[in-house]
Structure 1
Amino acid sequence: MYVGFDIGGTNIKYGVLDEAGEIIEKAMIETKQKKEEILSELTEIVQHYKKEYAIEGIGISAPGVIQKNGFMTTAGAIHSLYEINLKEEIESRTGLPTAVENDANAAAIAEKWIGNAQELDNYLCIVLGTGVGGGIVINGQVYRGAHGMAGEFGYMMIDDLPPSGNIEAVSLNWRGAVVGGLYPQYNKALRKEDPNALVIKDAKVIMERAKIGEATAIAVLDRYYQDLAVGLINLIGSFDPEAILIGGGISANEEFMQQLISKIDLLEDRHESIRFLKDKTIGKIQPAKLRNDAGMIGAVYQVKQLPGSK
């Protein structure tokens, strides 16, 4: 048995998985901001599971630029984990072999193991959460880049640059993510109409409001789908993947996937070169099979590959 963690900017999902990647049990806690609080909670969870299961290793999926040795160059929105070796920290506290993998890479690995990429050799996996993460698989292997940064699709700029200030305001992280993009864009629009409007942090609520005709929700969602579609079309032209698999919790929402694919189709038809190639070489956009569990599963696969693992 293995313990799997998927550390996100908002929540940490965790559970016990068997040799085949099946989740035996799982739960979720809120992500703390202090390093020691995070490390202590991870350790406590592992120690709890060790009392119930024969735990052989720990797999950790996390955001950011992560080196092969487990060093966190960055950690997405979790600034307290920047520039620490998370693998060494957890191994020293638990005594168990630990693998640490970028969250989108972990999702891509999981999809190849037991998900929708089992028959694919060249594909991308996009994880929509606090930011926009990406996993790149070329010829069946995860491509990490020279410094472990490959797949940071959220860094892409998708609009005119602002005249001053942080140009990430027009990046895919700030426009195409769910927590870092959709929520703030919607709440900003709401406050323009009503400064006392309640903050909404639920994509389902925003989509429901659009269904009943709320103009703000309709406009924000339309722009959100467009921004995300632009990013995905750029990736299609750059990588020529067999498919792009969309992960993260929102990918389980069928309406979201339908609206996103409809927007992509519309934009592809307006792009002369892509329109010509559409039924010839353009890869499919589809949800990842493992969705919110992919990070844990892919991280556990990685710990199973460590020397000495069964």
Structure 2
Amino acid sequence: MALLTIDIGGTSIKYARFTEGRLGDQGAFATPDNLEDFYQHLTAIVEQFRENTDICGVAISAPGAVNKRSGVIEGASALPYIHNFNIQAELEKRFGLPVSIENDANCAALAEVNFGVAKGLSDVLFLVLGTGVGGAVVVDGKVHHGKHLFGGEFGFMLMDDRHSFSELGTTIRMAERYNKRTGENLDAIAIFEKAFAGDEIAQEERDVFVFNVAKGIFNLQYSFDPELIIIGGGVSQADWLIPTLQKELVRLVELNKDAEMLPQITVCAFKNDANLIGAAADFAQTYAK
């Protein structure tokens, strides 16, 4: 038996067959701008897969705050038409199959815990450094959603008396600060290159980014005491990031004489496939007998 896994994104929707821990027959299409086209496209994909594969269900990764109890995607995203009604029940009716839905960052975390760099671990944090800072909390192998479905919304953490983690711990905001100071219009990659080449302003802004990511990791380690903190997002693929963060974490531990525990950090394994794989893991947990 196989699953159809679907990753709903703001610009594209990816899908794949998931069998025995692996993805196959992957594809994608542009995300529709209305609910009816959304239903039609997804139903067509389900029917296409059922012609050639014995599909036992549909596992979905979605943006927003997914309420697993009600089947409603709460909060907000770039796709307002998927929010605030029981979309899980509607999709099950249209597909004629069991459906599971989970938040995309939570799916990425489940992918790593079940099949990736955190396989065999129980308590893990997943930190996503994107346009903002997000993530997931995994306790005893399961996502901790929190009372208000804000588990893993690390970006709201205050790093000083007025700046949030999302403001100081993302490359997008780093680039904004650099460009405002210099009058240039560079992206983060170019700014990092200038920093390593000796540009003082670029170095200053890179150091602000690194220090605040390390501070966030340090605080999360001593708040949740996870076995591992996994870092995702585009910047996670920079080969200098983990060694640089590790040096900063050592410095923070040395500064805090009561702190003896050095956070264990690594980067995610699955990158663009994480949400599809994690959606399958969530389906297995949702319908576990």
Aligned residue pair count:
287
Q: Secondary structure at the match of 1:273?
A: coil
Q: Secondary structure at the match of 2:152?
A: coil
In structure 1, how many angstroms separate the alpha carbons of the residues matched to 2:27 and 2:196? 31
In structure 2, how many angstroms separate the alpha carbons of the residues matched to 1:38 and 1:184? 33
1:127 aligned residue = 128
Q: Is 1:219 the counterpart of 2:204 in the alignment?
A: yes
Aligned pair partner of 2:270 in 277, 282, 290: 290
2:194 aligned residue = 209
In structure 2, how many angstroms separate the alpha carbons of the residues matched to 1:36 and 1:45? 14
How far did residue 244 of structure 1 move?
0.9
8 Å Cα contact 1:74/1:82 also seen in 2? yes
Query: What amino acid does structure 1 have at the position aligned with 2:275?
Result: G
How much is the aligned-residue C-alpha RMSD, in angstroms? Answer: 3.1
- Give the TM-score, by structure 1 length: 0.78
In structure 2, how many angstroms separate the alpha carbons of the residues matched to 1:293 and 1:130? 19
In structure 2, how many angstroms separate the alpha carbons of the residues matched to 1:47 and 1:207? 47
Change (3 A) 1:215 1:138: same
How far did residue 232 of structure 1 move?
1.2
In structure 1, how many angstroms separate the alpha carbons of the residues matched to 2:226 and 2:211? 20
**More displaced stretch, 29-38 vs 233-242:** 29-38
* Structure 2, unaligned runs of 5 or more: none
Q: Secondary structure at the match of 2:89?
A: helix
2:235 aligned residue = 250
How far did residue 99 of structure 1 move?
1.1
In structure 2, how many angstroms separate the alpha carbons of the residues matched to 1:206 and 1:38? 39
How far did residue 15 of structure 1 move?
3.0
In percent, how many aligned pairs have the same letter?
Answer: 33
How far did residue 237 of structure 1 move?
0.9
Query: What amino acid does structure 1 have at the position aligned with 2:171?
Result: L
In structure 2, how many angstroms separate the alpha carbons of the residues matched to 1:96 and 1:38? 17
Q: Secondary structure at the match of 1:272?
A: coil
Q: Is 1:107 the counterpart of 2:100 in the alignment?
A: no
8 Å Cα contact 1:62/1:75 also seen in 2? no
Q: Is 1:173 the counterpart of 2:158 in the alignment?
A: no
How far did residue 297 of structure 1 move?
0.8
- Give the TM-score, by structure 2 length: 0.82
Aligned pair partner of 1:261 in 231, 246, 253: 246
In structure 2, how many angstroms separate the alpha carbons of the residues matched to 1:78 and 1:175? 27
Change (3 A) 1:212 1:27: farther
1:4 aligned residue = 5
Query: What amino acid does structure 1 have at the position aligned with 2:142?
Result: Q
